[in-house]
Structure 1
């Protein structure tokens, strides 16, 4: 009888001990998955070509990484692809979230938005910059022909071809085709098949949704300084001192890369482009982002719309009725 009671007691104790170990394991696993995003330790800038991304990356990220103690890593896409296969997305997410030796990390590269949540992981801090779509296309068009001030000795793919954008558009050339304008929407839409379908309304809808829900901040090329100021007060672990540093740069470094020669299109070309559906959609997305950023910036500055005011704005909340004391 005594042995039976002891046996029952031992069984209960062993069961409780096993349950305790299981709880500890689950708690540790939960902390593992929550630790990195909660620490704001990863920023991804899926930069779009010809939007000022070289200036931002070099003058901010590569200039501040030592002072602010983070790592900078470039994501080099094979053959200039903008999208990854599903297996590559998985390995990318696994690498980014488990490479603890490189945390905190600032990743940048010409790659479409990757939704970490599809793989059961919290998204990192996403940021981006976009540009008025026709301005971006013109910059890219003439960049292929005349290069820029950044890598002067590098011969570009259209070097020697002096055809103007107007002449190209009149003869329906490939470099000025409106399909070449379909780029900013796909970058935000992501990796769904319809994102790359030129003029797909679902891609525009998804791009807007991702910009609002998945990105911390999306700025515009013309307001890069304002974006830098917002990032400084929103993600100080990475961008502390960014505005003062940016303001201290000379003109060449503050505008690190610009196309050597650009010829504005004539009124006839402009009129035809503005009636094109692709331009209308890309412009709609640009206007959406511009207005969204403007609203965020005005609220953050208390309506002054001055970047300098961000760093000295008092908190608009306080804690009270705290119990227990």
Structure 2
């Protein structure tokens, strides 16, 4: 009788532990969700403050003794390609083309949207993922630049005219594309407003829900605090850690240069891209986009100083692009 009662007590205790464990796990999950949402309002202030110190102290000095990577062909397949995909710069077109090449070549592919959210957990998770990835490897996402503790990493990207990107991003967030993809989290205050009607274009922050181009090439959200230093750091990172950055306005020439610089991993990319465009061009097109007035463009260029810094990076990359285009005799 006593033993039966003891067993019942143990069973009840175990049931209590299982219930307690469930609630702890549930709370951890909910806390994780909250952390992702509240990151930019709370934890980000602590980490970004620490990172801003390194930005101001001259991070570009870390590359003084590093051999320039940009535009130097890389043979073989013993490396990991990091695609820092700038939003609304044709990343899905490039990814669709690359996937058709990578499947038969057994390239290890890692593409995730979660890692694009700037939290300490995601940053450390991505570092571990890249560090342990087998070669040849390919990691993609709307990821900020970062330096990884391995020597076989090369970065690539695509950019476009910053003003055109800004307009495309705005209408994509509002209406999505013909394939049904859209930003469901876009602030409802902007719903139904054309680009021309945004009075907020004249304020210091400029465009709503915007990812600054410099962030993709510095990895620091506080580029607004010292944009001139951020531009210098971005240029240093581009020259020393990126093998190539394509130009959306010259997509065919860009994929041809990718093939020249990464011949084993991206051999056949121009043909794959042409096939992708034949099959999916209309799917990737932003819908309901209209051209803003000259007045709106002039106001934006005058008031949004960060857009001018983005143009400085754009023309810097475009100059490098034209040099490679001439070197490889690509029309």
| TM-score normalised by L of structure 1 | 0.69
Counterpart of 2:57 in structure 1 is none
- 1:194 CA drift (Å): 3.9
Counterpart of 1:142 in structure 2 is 171
Counterpart of 1:57 in structure 2 is 95
The 3-state SS of whatever aligns with 2:265 is helix
Counterpart of 1:204 in structure 2 is 231
Give yes or no for the alignment of 1:163 onto 2:193. yes
Counterpart of 1:126 in structure 2 is 155
Deviations, residues 171-217 of structure 1 (Å, cap 9, x unaligned): 5589x8247555211110124x643x266211111111111111000
The 3-state SS of whatever aligns with 2:236 is helix
Kindly report the root-mean-square deviation, in angstroms, between the aligned alpha carbons of the 2 structures: 3.0
Change beyond 3 A, Cα 1:254–1:241 = farther
1:263-302 superposed matches below 5 A: 263-276=290-303, 277-301=305-329
The 3-state SS of whatever aligns with 2:264 is helix
User: Which fold has the larger relative contact order, with Cα–Cα distance below 8 Å and residues 6 or more apart in sequence?
Assistant: 2
**Structure 2: gaps of 5 or more residues:** 1-74
CA–CA separation in structure 2 for the residues paired with 1:218 and 1:247: 19
CA–CA separation in structure 2 for the residues paired with 1:199 and 1:179: 20
| TM-score normalised by L of structure 2 | 0.68
CA–CA separation in structure 1 for the residues paired with 2:208 and 2:168: 15
CA–CA separation in structure 2 for the residues paired with 1:199 and 1:107: 29
Residue among 248, 269, 274 paired with 2:275: 248
Counterpart of 1:24 in structure 2 is none
CA–CA separation in structure 2 for the residues paired with 1:181 and 1:289: 21
Instruction: Indicate conservation of the 8 Å contact 2:227/2:309, yes or no.
Output: no
CA–CA separation in structure 1 for the residues paired with 2:226 and 2:278: 37
Paired residues, what number? 255
CA–CA separation in structure 2 for the residues paired with 1:131 and 1:46: 14
Change beyond 3 A, Cα 1:148–1:90 = closer
